[in-house]
Structure 1
Amino acid sequence: MDIPFEDSFNVPSSRIYQDSLQAIQLQTAKYILTVSNIKLKFRRGSTIGDYSITTTTTTSFSETVVEAVNVGIFTELAKKYLMVYTSPQPLKFDPLPVFFEGNLIITCGPPPENLNLSSGLTAEWRLNGQVIPGDDLHKLQLQNVTATLTVLKVFSTDSGLYECTLKYNNTAFRQSGTFTFSLDSLCNDKEFGVGNENDEAVGPCPKDTVGNRTAVCRKKQTGTGSWEIKTNTCILKPLQELLVQSQNLNSNSLPAFLKVLSDTTTNSSQDVIGSPANIVATVEILNNIAKLNISITATLMTDILLVAGVLTGDGATASWNSLNNDNQTIAITSTSPPANSISSELLRSLETITTRLTNESFNIVTPLILLNKTILTKNFDADFAFSNSSVGVVIPDSDGGQRSITVLSFASMDNVLPPRDANNLTGNVINGRVVLVYSNGSVNNVLFKFAVKNNTLANPQCVFWNFSLFNSVGGWDNKGCKLVSNINKTVTCNCNHLTSFSILMSPYSPESPVLSYITYIGVSISIASLVICLIIEAVIWKKIRKNNTSYLRHVSIVNIALSLLIANIWFIIGAAISDAKPTNPPACNAATFFIHFFYLALFFWMLASALLLLYRTVNVFDGGLSKTSMLAFGFILGYGAPLIIVIITIAVTAPKEIYVSDNGVCWLNWEESYALLAFVIPALVIVGINLVILLVVIFKLLRRRSVGDAVQAAERHVLVIIARTLAVLTPFFGLTWGLGVGTLANPGNMGIHIAFAFFNSLQGFFILVFGTLLDKKVRSELTMKSQSSRPGTGSTSAGISSRFDIFRNWRKPRDGYNMSSSASGGPHSAANSR
């Protein structure tokens, strides 16, 4: 209460005591029905009233109830007295810590809704008891029932106790908090100043460069901080001048311009290639030159190739990696493309400039790029060699008439172009020289002979750079190109068009004994678990036919186990076929067909089980489809749908000999036909559907807590078992085959292969445990079967029973509920508000 304290307030006959007591009695009667005694006492601090209550039960009260009582008492007394509600929550300071001259925002409120403070209230801020006025350094705002104080520049004098008071009529809401100014900043240097973690600052460029740099304050593991460059648009002043000049070139100014550009990039090569911004600026200059409709002589082309050689050298690898992995734009000019397309723009510029060469034959040799332009009427056959590799280009006889062939061979363009292919896979390596071929005539048959740079790589792909891939970012594509041979460290490719070509090869994954052991031992364990599961189901089969839902659940489990068992058997057969020399393609096709079919059947039977669960839950255990109808639906979905998918897959891909993988494994093809998607997509879609069904069923079961007769109780038990089985198997199978997709995305990662083999081997075991053994009725039937088959000694049956009790005890919660009641009351106190 905002009134001076008097000792007389503690006299029970005083008005304040009576009013306060009546307010407490009124509010506790609303929320706490078992109050037996109330104690009230006032003390100084304006006037603070403390009260405690004693109840006739030992039940504790929630924070919500306590707050409702306090607010109710406060509201009731506010009708007669000026009341101040002191919030138990401190003011919110953002950010923390705050350093010298940093910004600080302090938020006050909102007050509890029950206080009925309207939007017409006023706000007052105090620091160490002194009122804070609004000025150039302190911005006060009040929106609805929330007040904010913004300190635009924090100094040491801004430390202390902040207090905010929101007033409306006889009611006030007060909130306080202590702020401590931090003398030590996390990041502090001359260029970017001081800052806290994740703060951003703009700093100047180094000497002889123009632009700006943005840095972020990062905290290190040692606890110290430093500014890390986020964006850098600083470029050399000479490059900036050349960039501006390149927008206004003509045939007269171009020769001198290219000479200066060549000298600048060559003399300052380390500065150019060490900065992504300088590389972007240079590529934009070449882009502007490519847009000119001017003939390029051998002399001019030599300067251009010297510039390109600087950009493609080994020293530029780090800068190109940074650009290729960045989808933002380094805004050197208003037309700058995204950073990850700069490499593509460089190659496009060189291709365009090549088309402008004068109509004469000549050779240009630079340290990193070779160019040959030939005017011919017959075939073309030439080798372009560097110190450690070469590439040969063969173009058969033309159809008559004169034509020109221009070939550029790059020693280190692999530093520039990322190895991503049309499938967006980056596990490959550019393992040959990049060669650009252009002709002013029609060429639809060209042969390339690439000398491989790394003999440890395998699986060559003949590719060209497709500028339109990935929304014009660009990538390697194999359309129109095919592998002819891979002999004696030379890969021969044939293509039906001209552009920039190379070969992609992937790391060779050696045979791993660990992977083999995990695979074969795991599959054996899985097969053994599935056999045990089917034996158990056969033993108890007659006992589970009484309840339709239970019967259909076990039908699903049997078919899930049977499908995985047959798939595992065919997996072993397929592995034997793959290892055989020579391989047997028809047998491998058959193995792939059955592995594909039964793995799909496994997932579709899981879907059937989930749909059964959903149907029986939504229909509230009443009537509906007959057992025969649901059984027919299960078999049609479980085996019919997979059969259709498998037949369509083999019909589309087998005639083109792209049904089975070409890496010697009896499994669906990925690289050429994407036949593997016929398994991956249905499997992952079913996983998603099952998870949605589980959420719906769990929601329904939680809302339907009460159980009627014994039949409904048994039905509910079966549904819970089905839900639990799906809740475990669905994400487990999803994770397993997600790892399977990972082995395709990163085939050289042995860790993913081992993880996939491990989880794949546990599938049968999980079906046995969660589909069968954790069902208490199954265990009960097995116990009775065991007892009836071994009569005579109580110890035997008890031993069997105790073994099955392991499962029961394992499933019990570790903690229980201990409920008791007492007639004696216990005190419950809650502090009143000021």
Structure 2
Amino acid sequence: MVIVEAPGTKVCYQSTPQLACKLEEPTGSAGWNMTTQTQRFELNNGSVVQLNQTCATSIYQSCIGVTLKVVTGIWEGTYECGFTIGSIRHTGRTFLSVALLPDTITMSTMPLTMDCSKSPQSVNITASVIIPASSKSYDISWSYNGSATNYTAVQNTTSKGYVNYTFTPTIPCTKGSGTYVNITFKNDVNQMKSAQINIPVINANDIVCNQIILNGDTWPETPAGETVIIRTCPPGRVGYKSRTCIGPAWQDVFSSCVSEELDKVSNAAQAFLKGLGATPEVAKNIFEGLKNSSTLSSGSGESIADVSASIGVLNMMAKASNTTVLGEDIFPDFVSAASNMLNGTWNGVNDTVRYNMSSNYLNSVEGLVKNIKVNQSNGVNSTNLDLTFCRSHDCNVSVFDIGVNMNKTNGILKTVAVKNLMSKLNNSFNGAKPDRTDLILSATLDNNNDSTRRIRLDFPSGKTNPTQPHCVFWNPTGNEWSDEGCNISISDENHTVCECNHLTAFSVLMSKNDGRKTDPTLELISNIGLGVSICSLVIFLIIESLVWSAVVKTNLSHFRHTAIVNIATFLLLADCSFLASSNPETLSDSWCLVLTICKHLFYLAMFCWMLCLSIMLVHQLIFVFSPLRKRVFMFLSSILGYVCPILMVGSSYVYYKYTNQNYHDPKTCWLVYVKLLVGSMHAFLLPVGTIVLANLFSMVVVIVTLMKTSVPDSSKADDKETAKGILKVVIVLTPVFGVTWIVGFIQLIMSDSPMYNVIAYIFTILNTFQGFFILITGCFAEQKVREELFKLITGKSKGNDSTKKFTSTTYTKDH
């Protein structure tokens, strides 16, 4: 005799009841079925159903239990368990009663918005609620704006298995507070379930989108920032449409109206995932219905709502395949349906939605291919998918012209190549948007116990321009491409060969030659140059501190030395930050970001002070009779040299953070360059380029002016010598800084040129030895500095000008 253990009373909504079926004799098989008023389902493991076959005891040698997690109304019915011994089947039945509440509550209002700008007193609203029809009745109460008063006067109608309730309150206009209507259902065990709908309110002087009629739908006057929903769809479709007002313009209509047939397939997939009727036969019907729906959709024009719903079905079936065995007979319908989904462009949604859809699609296809059991099939192909299986130890197959090679001891290698998906994915990589190939290959290994796996992939390139390939795989955790565990074996104009030590979805991204292999000679030159530069700058700053009081006798010399000391200081800080970030792989992302900001700031500050020096010299030579006062120079140069770089770096960081773009590249600890005028690198290149051009222009102006200017009076001898010194320094320093970075710009533009390496060497040598050039031109090439330095070292002035010494001594005594 079969013993059925079940709850003796009605179970609560969303509770977790347990049932058990026991028999004293040992049996060969056992199972559960559930019957409602209209349908009969076989129960299998799923997100709700959990079967237990380990409950047998010495008395009851056969036992099968079932746990239902978070039951809703669809789980009320008659449960039948059965044991099979040979041709004899022993069965038992019980009825599970659930204290029901509506599984879905759909609310709408008429009108869709409240206009309180013309009728400031109150507005009449009709709120409607649709729920699935039920044999049970509920206590229903309404309220609005959180009022304590509950209104129970409702009107309901029944149609096509649904019940419609309405509520018609007169809602007063209250400026500054949100308006909403709430409905609460209470069942016979006092459990409650509520739903709420917000009603946009138009107040006087609000920015609004005007009422418009589009394709038969009336979109009412709506305040900026609000979204209205119309729950009507064309014949043969179910769902809703929404539209957002960004004020005073409407955004495009977003349609979530899917075909009725696809909606039935989606409901069946939901039940399958829960474990309700999760059998191979039902799975085959679901994929057949999905194929037919996707064929109809692609034939009548792209519907992004249908594509999204179809991807949802794939996703649910992929999750279900983790617990339910799916046979190879579903492959033809599955591949056809998945291929049809890629026929359109998916342009009916924004980038974020499209990226999520494409990622879910790829993960679902990969999960299904991995979990579906293969016996005799060798593969299936379609327009956008090519699926192949390999059972031999040395697999060497081709899918959509992608060569796949892998050695294994056992198991089945499953490979599927996908077309027309790469353009829909988020193809950013290392902070950039590189070019891409058109193919993705997913490889999975079934029934294999190899501890190490290595796969070789030969992607056709189709590229004629020199580009840097990246072998990447799709990381489902972060929904992004990664190159971890993959490297390039061969790359030329015709193909790229990748070798990876794991299996997943692979592709190739093609970027400009920013991924060149590091030249050891360039690295050596760079390190030596930076070391020499840092030492030179330290020596220069020490010398400047020692001779400062002796060499800044005039305002002009004070201006010049102030600027050059700031240039040297910021260049020293920038070089130190550069060295600290020379091995980005050893740094955390936080430190990498800090060092990127430091380099950005210090280099910009150095160039801003170089601009100060140029501007000061031009002013002194052109406006001879209006010299700059020290206070004015220090104020203006502080603004330009300190405040401006901070504002530029801060604003660029905030901008890229706010727009969800990458400010820095963790692999280089420097700014990101995507393409011309795209990427945070331009927050550095544009101001530096402007300053370099200004410096070169200043140098030309200075040379032309001095060529036309007569020799200064003897009383102006010190200023004359200082002006010559500044001219000498500017003539030397401006080409050094300007030409260096002009060469850098040329290097960036000509990254595909055969001359790239030559330009790279020139830029590296000039750029890394800048500190040394400053020491030479700012110290040893400056006569006053040399004389004062000689005096400090030897204790006497350079030369034997006794008259000069006597005069100085006599002046001191007299004084």
Name the TM-score class by shorter chain.
0.3 to 0.5
Name whichever structure is richer in helix by fraction.
1
Normalised to the residue count of structure 2, the TM-score between the two structures is 0.39
Flag the structure with more relative contact order, 1 or 2, with Cα contacts below 8 A and sequence separation at least 6: 1
